Amino acid sequence: MTAVIQAPEAPAAPPETKRSGIGWEQVRQAVPGAVRRLSPRHLWHNPVMLIVWAGAVLTTAIAVIEPFAGGPGTSGGTQVPVAFTAIIAVWLWLTVLFANLAEAIAEGRGRAQADSLRATRTSTTAQRVHAYDADADAPAERARTAAVASSDLRLGDHVVVTAGELIPGDGDVVWGVASVDESAITGESAPVIRESGGDRSAVTGGTRVLSDRIVVRITSKPGETFVDRMISLVEGAARQKTPNEIALDILLASLSIVFVLVALTLNPIASYAASPVSLAVLIALLVCLIPTTIGALLSAIGIAGMDRLVQRGVLAMSGRAVEAAGDVTTLLLDKTGTITYGNRRATDVVPLAGVTREDLLRAAALSSLADPTPEGQSIVELARAEGMTLDARTPGDVVPFTAETRMSGLDRPDGTRIRKGAGSAVRAWLAAEGAPLSEADAQALGAATDAIASSGGTPLVVAIAAPGAPARALGVVHLKDVVKEGLTERFAELRAMGIRTVMITGDNPLTAAAIAKEAGVDDYLAEATPEQKLALIRKEQEGGSLVAMTGDGTNDAPALAQADVGVAMHSGTSAAKEAGNMVDLDSDPTKLIDIVRIGKQLLITRGALTTFSIANDVAKYFAIIPAMFMGVFPGLGVLNVMGLHSPASAVLSAVIFNALVIVALIPLALKGVRYRPVAASQLLGRNLLVYGLGGLVAPFIGIWLLDLVVRLIPGF
Ligand SMILES: Nc1ncnc2c1ncn2[C@@H]1O[C@H](COP(=O)(O)OP(=O)(O)OP(=O)(O)O)[C@@H](O)[C@H]1O
Ligand SMILES: [K+]
Ligand SMILES: [Mg+2]
């Protein structure tokens, strides 16, 4: 492994996907695919290889006709060996084959994983809800269900899934909480919690419910599920060229055309002194000069980059996102569930003067009975744990929590209205009710919320407006959350990569500051609404930054869609997963370090091999031209520094070298060049030195060695 950076808790990849080098078995399995790709239909997308293919066809035709037209004759004034054209033709075909092999091996790496994913798509029976019985206590009991095949489920259907059953399709949990075994998809054997109301509501078809019972709303059609997308991703079927790849392709094609012209001008020059160079030699020379190395490996590099991400448990929906990750300068992270574990729970209540602890807790719990968020449910649990009895029926009109209002509540049938939420939101509500806080209350409330916030907790202020009495604040609920371990070191690594981390949260500035300090992020934005998150990303992008964002909530979705790299947590809501262009199966926000490293590695590998390829081609020109014409222009013999045996052996050696270089570089293309988090300029300098200089020197040594062997062939 070249990985300099390793996740402290590296997730276990499914066993069949644990692989680093290339085995013979992999090569053997790729050969049929490589042969199939010899059809021009497939090569159409690869202009450089298409030229080689056309050259191979032409040379083959010449080799077939030659014997009837009186042998190969002379080329550039020298006698050409009898088998010359045929051998060149064989090596040109091999050149195309090697290029195809690179791509086929790269694609083959995902096949085993695709097969095991396909196994999760087996049809199951789903308990589809067709009616509700309003008198039953809990939603799962109210549901009247009928068994249908999972393939018959439609968007918006509700299904009940009970412990031991497979979840029949992708969806969001709308009622209940369950532990789910997602190992079929993530390879991670520890069960995960999926629950309604919060940011951990998405479930995936083919995973198994281990405990309890949930109601799931189906969010994807059969055939368009997450697993379907995952399969086409790991198989590379959905792969499209990125704009960068297209640009590079155009550059390589233009270079090839220049070399076609160079090859064509050889004859008018040579013919002053001798008979023209044969067509087979011209084609061989052309293939040596055009950038075949990078042309052969370009798509394999892209596929391998995607594959490396899959190995780390990240599904990239586009190659473009992977490339963007390599250039990311700013990383925005959601606080709750991303930097913290995300199960914000009520641990305590702080009543204001003149309010009993019991009154405060009862009001908070009443307003939370119909609040499905984990925060709301935890308040009910706290009240029950303290011995309070609460009627479970929804008592009045629910005011649901939204990220915009930062508040939720209940309007009871007797006219009492209870609100709980962020301090600023509840204060504004009180003011709107015509009962702003008294000086003393404001001070006491401020002290209580500040104390909770500076410890990193989230304070929820509770207020009540009973009929006939002025509205008033009752006190504060303390929601506690825990910062994930090991974040500080990982953010430091990001800093070393030149990436600024910014935490964005809907929470108040004090809590945000405390958590930001504890987690070690560079900056934070507090009390951010979804619109502000979006605006922040736009602002960063306008300033020229490439922005990555990780998030899990529905309120993160617009920002995830706007970010250049939007990494949705697999545990998050369906909306978040739809909006982003990557999904992290392990729901680990620091995975972005791996994503950035893999993106950078992809860009560097492509750059390094392009440099090598072009340097190589230039060197080949100077390596073989002197040998080719030494018979005609004896002066050129001086330049034949390697003492190549004959023009024919020089050309053949160069063609063979050109083909073998592709094979030699397949492992590097698939594995990626080494990456360390150093300054970009340093990296560029080092790569130019290694791959540029290496590319210049390698042909001289390689062709010289091959010539020693080729000269043993009779006639050469
Ligand atoms: N169930 C709830 N009822 C009332 N108020 C809530 C509830 N949940 C959260 N709040 C308040 O709303 C604020 C915003 O919460 P929200 O979960 O939307 O933040 P966010 O934008 O997702 O940011 P982050 O997830 O990073 O904390 C919280 O800080 C809290 O004060
Ligand atoms: K070449
Ligand atoms: Mg959130």
Hey, is 680 helix, strand or coil? helix
Of 334, 336, 531, 556, which is best to mutate to test ligand 1, by the most ligand atoms within 8 angstroms of its C-beta?
A: 336
**% helix, strand, coil for the chain, step of 5:** 50, 15, 30
What global pTM score does this model have?
A: 0.79
Query: Using a 6 Å cutoff on CB, does residue 456 contact ligand 1?
Result: no
- Point out which residues pair with 476 in neighbouring strands: 350, 461
Q: Where in the chain is the domain with CATH 2.70.150.10?
A: 119-234
pLDDT at position 447 is 95
Q: How buried is residue 353: exposed, middle or buried, by Cβ count under 10 Å (0-12/13-18/19+)?
A: exposed
Positions at the binding site for ATP: 371, 375, 401-408, 420
CA of 352 to the centre of ligand 3 (A): 28
Query: Using a 6 Å cutoff on CB, does residue 580 contact ligand 1?
Result: no
pLDDT at position 55 is 95
Nearest 10 degrees: Cα torsion 681, 686, 689, 694: -140
CA of 556 to the centre of ligand 1 (A): 12
CA of 372 to the centre of ligand 1 (A): 13
Q: Where in the chain is the domain with CATH 3.40.1110.10?
A: 345-480
181, 249, 307, 334: which is the annotated catalytic residue?
334
Query: Using a 6 Å cutoff on CB, does residue 52 contact ligand 1?
Result: no
Hey, is 643 helix, strand or coil? coil
C-alpha to C-alpha distance for 706 and 697, rounded to whole angstroms: 15
- Stated length of the chain: 716
Of 401, 405, 518, which is best to mutate to test ligand 1, by the most ligand atoms within 8 angstroms of its C-beta?
A: 401
Alpha helices in 405-548 (DSSP H): 423-432, 439-454, 487-496, 509-519, 530-542
Segments of the chain with pLDDT less than 50: 1-19
Closest to 145 measured CA to CA, from 122, 123, 162? 162
CA of 397 to the centre of ligand 3 (A): 25
The verdict on domain 345-480 having CATH code 3.40.50.1100 is no
Query: Using a 6 Å cutoff on CB, does residue 208 contact ligand 1?
Result: no
Report angle CA 39, 45, 49 to the nearest 5 degrees.
Answer: 65
Report angle CA 70, 76, 79 to the nearest 5 degrees.
Answer: 45
Phi, psi of 403 (to 5 degrees): -70, -20
Q: If you ran DSSP here, which 8-state letter would residue 197 be given?
A: S
Closest ligand 1 atom number to CA of residue 422: 31
Report every protein residue that has its C-beta within 5 angstroms of ion ligand 2: 292, 617, 658
CA of 209 to the centre of ligand 1 (A): 28
Write out the E strands in 279-392. Answer: 314-316, 330-334, 345-351
Closest ligand 1 atom number to CA of residue 375: 1
220 neighbors 153 (Cβ within 8 angstroms): no
Of 375, 398, 479, which is best to mutate to test ligand 1, by the most ligand atoms within 8 angstroms of its C-beta?
A: 375
Q: Please identify which residue in the block is written with the tokens 């001008």.
A: 265
Closest-lying ligand to the alpha carbon of 52? 2
pLDDT at position 366 is 92
Look at ligand 1, atom 20, and give the residue with the nearest C-alpha: 506
C-alpha to C-alpha distance for 459 and 179, rounded to whole angstroms: 29
Which tokens hold the place of 560?
């995830």
Q: Is 334 annotated as catalytic? A: yes
Closest-lying ligand to the alpha carbon of 504? 1
The β-bridge relationship of strands 330-334 and 547-551 is parallel
Domain 119-234 adopts which CATH fold? Answer: 2.70.150
Query: Using a 6 Å cutoff on CB, does residue 334 contact ligand 1?
Result: yes
Closest-lying ligand to the alpha carbon of 657? 2
The β-bridge relationship of strands 500-504 and 330-334 is parallel
Query: Using a 6 Å cutoff on CB, does residue 340 contact ligand 1?
Result: no
Phi, psi of 138 (to 5 degrees): -105, 150
Report the chain's mean pLDDT, rounded to a whole number. Answer: 86
499 neighbors 330 (Cβ within 8 angstroms): yes
pLDDT at position 450 is 95
Query: Using a 6 Å cutoff on CB, does residue 550 contact ligand 1?
Result: no
Phi, psi of 677 (to 5 degrees): -75, 80
Look at ligand 1, atom 19, and give the residue with the nearest C-alpha: 506
C-alpha 601: how far from its chain's center?
A: 13
The verdict on domain 329-341+483-585 having CATH code 3.10.105.10 is no
The reply to whether ipTM tops 0.90 is: yes
Query: Using a 6 Å cutoff on CB, does residue 423 contact ligand 1?
Result: no
Query: Using a 6 Å cutoff on CB, does residue 574 contact ligand 1?
Result: no
Look at ligand 1, atom 28, and give the residue with the nearest C-alpha: 507
Contacts of 128 (CB under 8 A, 6+ apart): 145, 146, 147, 148, 153, 157, 158, 159
Look at ligand 1, atom 29, and give the residue with the nearest C-alpha: 507
Closest ligand 1 atom number to CA of residue 421: 5
Hey, is 351 helix, strand or coil? strand
Hey, is 629 helix, strand or coil? coil
Hey, is 200 helix, strand or coil? coil
DSSP 228-265: HHHHHHHTTTT----HHHHHHHHHHHHHHHHHHHHHHH
pLDDT at position 230 is 82
Positions at the binding site: 371, 375, 401-408, 420, 552, 556
Nearest 10 degrees: Cα torsion 371, 372, 378, 383: 40
Of 366, 502, 507, which is best to mutate to test ligand 1, by the most ligand atoms within 8 angstroms of its C-beta?
A: 507
Hey, is 607 helix, strand or coil? helix
Query: Using a 6 Å cutoff on CB, does residue 460 contact ligand 1?
Result: yes
Query: Using a 6 Å cutoff on CB, does residue 342 contact ligand 1?
Result: no
